[in-house]
A = this chain, B = another copy of it.
Amino acid sequence: MKHWFKSIENDVAGTSYSLDKVIAELNFDADGLIPVIAQDEKSMKVLMFAWMSKESLDETLRTGKMCYWSRSRQGLWRKGSSSGHSQTVKSIAADCDGDVLLAEVSQVGFACHTRRHSCFYLRFWEDKVTLIE
């Protein structure tokens, strides 16, 4: 499955491939999903982690707005469609074995459903975990 990504890993910086080819080689899991990390393009904070199906990735690339796959609702999750807290895509990258995506986004409002900027607000410190936001 991961042979194509292996085959290009020694290519030099600046080498390009067709987007269609890379998407066709991405390693979606047994449920047809790929993990996605969303990072704020300005603060560089990691905002959230979610999943995309092929369909939601296609929509994201077509519209420039992050569209995830909701595993609980088993449907497209157009981020911000009810809350208004949408994410505009600034860039997307795939990792070395093509099984994770990283999106830099411009976030309107809050990434987290709790109205915090980032979902990662539970900080481990020594023998405690503290709400940092």
**Residues on A close to B: CB < 8 A?**
8-22, 35, 37, 39, 44-46, 48-49, 61, 91-98, 100, 102, 112-114, 116, 119-133
Bound CA–CA A79/B124 (angstroms): 20
Q: Could you tell me if B114 and A94 are in contact, using CB atoms closer than 8 angstroms?
A: no
Partner of A22, one of B45, B48, B98, B129: B129
Q: Could you tell me if B119 and A95 are in contact, using CB atoms closer than 8 angstroms?
A: yes
Shortest 7 CB-CB distances between A and B: which pairs? A44-B44, A95-B119, A93-B120, A92-B124, A22-B129, A94-B122, A16-B128
User: What's the minimum C-beta distance from A32 to chain B, rounded to whole angstroms?
Assistant: 16
Q: Using Cβ atoms and an 8 Å threshold, which residues of chain B touch A14?
A: 130-131
